[in-house]
Amino acid sequence: MTALDMFSLKGRVAIVTGGSRGIGKMIAQGFLEAGCSKVYITSRKASQCDEAAAELGENCISLPQDLSTTDGIKSFVARYLTHEDKLDILVNNAGAAWGAEFDEFPESGWDKVLNLNLKSPFFLTQALHGALTKAGTADRPSKVINIASIDGIRLNPQETYSYHASKAGLIYLTRRMAARLIHDNICVTAIAPGAFASEMNRVARDHGDEVAQRIPARRIGKDEDMACAAIYLASAAGDYVVGDTIAVDGGVALASPGGL
């Protein structure tokens, strides 16, 4: 196997949740360019999901679904299994954020974020366990990649209590799931993105030059930065990485807290 072969996703089938925009779309596009035969994307808004799939090409399939509830997860998995009987790569990217002052932080903002950011990755992986197990072997394991955040590693200056808690929890959940699922030839890892231009990170999107001044690498993340990290973990190149979280943040996690 050549070095290029190690990073190929030729013939692999992937699911990217929250794949219609932002980081999810970056990863979906990267997977297709790396050779995935099919990439299924999902998001809550059907029109956005359909439009993104059409833009990414015929090998990208739109399966819109709200994954914030277990009923939604069951419905999505049932629909996926009408198309495929196994799964090589699952990217748990769908997420939400909420900011409010401590004394005013609402229960709704807690539940919405924890349900989508922490509960859903666990139960979606559980529901797809059989399909992932069927695809994985000791020589070529299937992959689960959880999209965490540097906000799970260090503090940002915003009062995003449930977001911080959910992403920190997801990093440790990744380790716990990895310890169990590697026995089924499933590698579980995570990526902790820093500042990437997206609908969720509008500051980076709308004020990228200003944000870049507070990043050691002196720039915000590019689409290919995220795509390449995900391709590494999803491909044979990342087969021996189990349970780790890779910070893709230009060095922000190494800087003093509160910079972003």
Is 108's pLDDT higher than 90?
Answer: yes
The answer to whether position 255 is within a domain reads no
What percent of the chain is predicted at pLDDT more than 90? 82
Q: Which residues, including other chains, have CB under 8 Å from residue 228's CB and lie 6 or more apart? A: 30
* Ranges of H-type helices in the chain: 3-6, 22-33, 46-56, 70-80, 107-114, 120-127, 129-135, 161-181, 202-206, 208-212, 223-234
Burial label for 16, CB within 10 Å (0-12, 13-18, 19+), is buried
| 88 DSSP 8-state letter | S
The count of structural domains within the chain is 1
Under the banding of pLDDT at 50, 70 and 90, the label for residue 254 is confident
Q: How far is CA 233 from CA 68, 242, 246, in A?
A: 25, 9, 9
Would you state the pLDDT for residue 125? Answer: 98
The answer to whether position 258 is within a domain reads no
The answer to whether position 187 is within a domain reads yes
The answer to whether position 28 is within a domain reads yes
Residue 163: active-site member: yes
Q: How far is CA 121 from CA 115, 187, 222, 252, in A?
A: 9, 14, 25, 25
The answer to whether position 259 is within a domain reads no
Would you state the pLDDT for residue 260? Answer: 42
Q: What is the pLDDT of residues 35-94, one digit of tens each?
A: 999 999 999 999 999 999 999 999 999 999 999 999 999 999 999 999 999 999 999 999
Residue 69, number of CB atoms within 10 A of its CB: 15
Would you state the pLDDT for residue 259? Answer: 44
User: Cβ(99)–Cβ(158) under 8 Å?
Assistant: yes
Would you state the pLDDT for residue 2? Answer: 87
Partners of 16 in the β-ladder: 41, 91
Q: How many helices (H) and strands (E) does the chain have?
A: 11, 7
Under the banding of pLDDT at 50, 70 and 90, the label for residue 199 is low
User: What is the mean pLDDT of the segment spanning 208-222?
Assistant: 77
The answer to whether position 256 is within a domain reads no
Would you state the pLDDT for residue 216? Answer: 84
The torsion defined by the Cα of 62, 63, 66 and 72, in degrees rounded to 10, comes to: -170
Under the banding of pLDDT at 50, 70 and 90, the label for residue 196 is confident
User: What is the mean pLDDT of the segment spanning 162-190?
Assistant: 98
The answer to whether position 24 is within a domain reads yes
Q: Which of 161, 163, 172, 240 is catalytic?
A: 163
What is the value of pTM for the model shown?
A: 0.94
What domain range is 23 assigned to? 3-250
CATH value at residue 97: 3.40.50.720
Q: What is the pLDDT of residues 130-157, one digit of tens each?
A: 999 999 999 999 999 999 999 999 988 8
